[in-house]
Amino acid sequence: MNSVISCQHLTHYYGKRKIYEDLNFEVPEGRILGLLGKNGTGKTTTINILSGYLKPRSGTCQIFGQDIQTMDPALRRRIGLLIEGHVQYQFMNIEQIERFYASFYPGQWRKEAYYELMAKLKVAPRQMISRMSCGQRSQVALGLILAQNPDLLVLDDFSIGLDPGYRRLFVDYLREFVKAERKTVFLTSHIIQDMERLVDDCIIMDYGRILTQQPLDTLLDTLHRFTARVPEGYDVAFSDADLFHPSVIRGTLELHSFLSSDEVSARLTANGVPFSDLHCESLNLEDAFIGLTGKY
Amino acid sequence: MFYKEYLKTRWYLLLMLLTTSGFAGYGLLRLHRVAAVNGIGHAWEVMLMHDVVFIDLLEYVPVICGLVLALMQFVPEMYHKCLKLTLHLPVSHLKAVNQMLLWGVAATVACAVVNYAILWGYMSQVLANELWSRILWTALPWYLAGLAAYLLGAWIILEPAWRRRIVNIVVAVLVLKVYFVSEQPMAYFGFLPWLALYTIALLSFSWISISRFKEGKE
């Protein structure tokens, strides 16, 4: 499968603060990849680098085989960009903004896709964008992307500021569009439940590095939460790279791991943990995210 | 791109045209009043003997109008970093920026042409060629200053980092001072081609801000 996005050895600092070092990832064609990470782990930095609005300290990013820094402007026809906060030109109204963008995408612009979504908003055609709620603006931004009909969609925190209804509308429309047309999507969001409904693959980032990149199904099939009874007063005193974020709350040891129950049991025994009654639970994406990145 | 610039600035451009034309008209009213009260000969005399140009109230108006035009055009681009949308359009960044600037430059020049037409229309009826051309040549550096103020305003507003923006403001003030070194009529006459080139060179300044924006400077 061809990679639509390929980032190699990305390193970036803000001043002396390292955001990440030697980051590598690829987004295969026709897949929806979600980038998850706590605040400050570099999600928006990555989107900004991918959009060409931030020059990384080192490393390269290619989209459709072209380096982002020297990309042919015509290639941007194939890339739909949603900026954090669903930013759009405030001084335009619904009709004006459609007319403006349509002139840049002759032959590919699908006016009806935009107006179909606008009809759901029940706003006047001359409604100014500046007078819209964040939810309404998100639909304008999405409608413009659907009308542009790009091969790649880059969406920065698409759920920010949206109430559950608009979030659901956004996700459903987007999922239907990308699945029907085999589009590639690279997105970030703070709302992990939305990601779970949408993404095929996910990258989970921690400060300075990628913790895991794999298909969502594989992640949820292989990562588990393990709980076990430990004696009163026991505190975690071991470190094992395959047992993530072990903690004890009221005599219950909790940890996350890609290992099987037998392997976890063997590792705990090897680490001298006085445990009993080991349980293994499946996870949703939010639990998996917390399991890998920790609660703090 | 011009459609976007038109939507942002249409009402302000109308206001700018009315304001500058109003100041030009007021200058002509002063000339008319002097001619009506003391005779046109007296008006000629004060122009020659006391370096009066009658439209001196117009001196800083183009600068203010140029700065406000830059604000009207580029503040909406920097609001929530909307400029990212413009730079994501499938045209070269240089072309996109030049088209935005071209709109502002064309609007400023068009406004100056209308002002000049108003001034010339009346003055050529009551003043000798040498006198009305002296007034129009005297006003030209003011209009070039308006153009410079617009271009420097764009450079300042498009700059992504506040600290650098303050440096740009200081530089812009120093650059603009060049247009107002002397208030003597025709003082800039021999220097006007250089002043025009100097103004055109300011077109490139905005590209510095855009390049810094693309590098993610904050």
Across the interface, whether the CB atoms of B90 and A104 are under 8 A apart is answered: yes
- Does residue A214 share a domain with residue A168? yes
Across the interface, whether the CB atoms of B87 and A52 are under 8 A apart is answered: yes
Other Cβ atoms less than 10 A from the Cβ of B190: the count is 8
Question: How many structural domains are present in chain A?
Answer: 2
Please identify every stretch of chain B with a pLDDT value under 50, giving residue numbers as ranges. none
Give A295's pLDDT tier (boundaries 50, 70, 90).
low
A88-120 tens-digit pLDDT: 898 999 999 999 999 999 989 999 988 888 887
pLDDT at residue A137, as a whole number: 84
CATH number of the domain bearing residue A239? 3.30.70
| Chain B: closest CA distance from residue A199 (Å) | 24
Q: Is residue A206's pLDDT more than 70?
A: yes
For residue A240, give its domain range.
223-293
- Does residue A276 share a domain with residue A159? no
What integer best gives the mean pLDDT of chain A? 86
- Does residue A228 share a domain with residue A214? no
Across the interface, whether the CB atoms of B82 and A89 are under 8 A apart is answered: yes
- Does residue A106 share a domain with residue A204? yes
Yes or no: say if A25 and A42 are a contact pair by the CB < 8 Å rule: no
Spell out a b/e string for A130-168, using b for 16 or more CB atoms within 10 Å of the CB, else e.
eebeebbbbbbbbbbbbbbbbbbbbbbbbbbbbeeebbe
| Chain B: closest CA distance from residue A49 (Å) | 9
Spell out a b/e string for B19-28, using b for 16 or more CB atoms within 10 Å of the CB, else e.
bbbebbeebb
- Does residue A154 share a domain with residue A256? no
Across the interface, whether the CB atoms of A81 and B90 are under 8 A apart is answered: no
Yes or no: say if B46 and B34 are a contact pair by the CB < 8 Å rule: yes
Q: Is residue A292's pLDDT more than 80?
A: yes
| Chain B: closest CA distance from residue A241 (Å) | 36
A209-251 tens-digit pLDDT: 888 888 999 989 998 999 999 888 888 877 888 888 888 888 8
From residue A35, how far is each of A145, A172, B8, B38 by CA, in Å?
Answer: 20, 19, 36, 80
Yes or no: say if A284 and A251 are a contact pair by the CB < 8 Å rule: no
| Chain B: closest CA distance from residue A72 (Å) | 8
For residue A118, the surrounding DSSP H or E stretch is helix A111-121
| Chain A: closest CA distance from residue B15 (Å) | 18
A123-175 tens-digit pLDDT: 787 888 888 888 788 888 888 988 998 999 998 887 777 778 878 887 888 88
**Minimum Cα–Cα distance from A93: chain B residue:** B7
Asked which of A179, A197, A218 is the last residue of a domain, the reply is A218
CATH number of the domain bearing residue A212? 3.40.50.300
The predicted model gives A262-272 an average pLDDT of 89
B81-130 tens-digit pLDDT: 889 999 999 999 899 999 999 999 999 999 999 999 999 998 888 888 88
Asked which of A218, A233, A264 is the last residue of a domain, the reply is A218
Radius of gyration of chain A (CA): 22
A52 touches chain B (CB under 8 A): yes
The predicted model gives A169-196 an average pLDDT of 84
From residue B174, how far is each of A209, B86, B170, B178, B191 by CA, in Å?
Answer: 47, 31, 6, 7, 18
pLDDT at residue A1, as a whole number: 66
pLDDT at residue B208, as a whole number: 92
Handedness of CA B160, B161, B166, B171 (dihedral sign): negative
Contacts of A76 in chain B (CB under 8 A): 88-90
Across the interface, whether the CB atoms of B88 and A87 are under 8 A apart is answered: no
Q: Is residue A296's pLDDT more than 70?
A: no
- Does residue A13 share a domain with residue A99? yes
Give A178's pLDDT tier (boundaries 50, 70, 90).
confident
Best of B2, B85, B94, B97 to disrupt the A interface by mutation (most A CBs within 10 Å)? B85
Across the interface, whether the CB atoms of B216 and A54 are under 8 A apart is answered: yes
Q: Is residue A181's pLDDT more than 70?
A: yes
Asked which of A193, A218, A243 is the last residue of a domain, the reply is A218
Q: What percent of chain A has pLDDT over 90?
A: 16
Whole-complex ipTM: 0.82
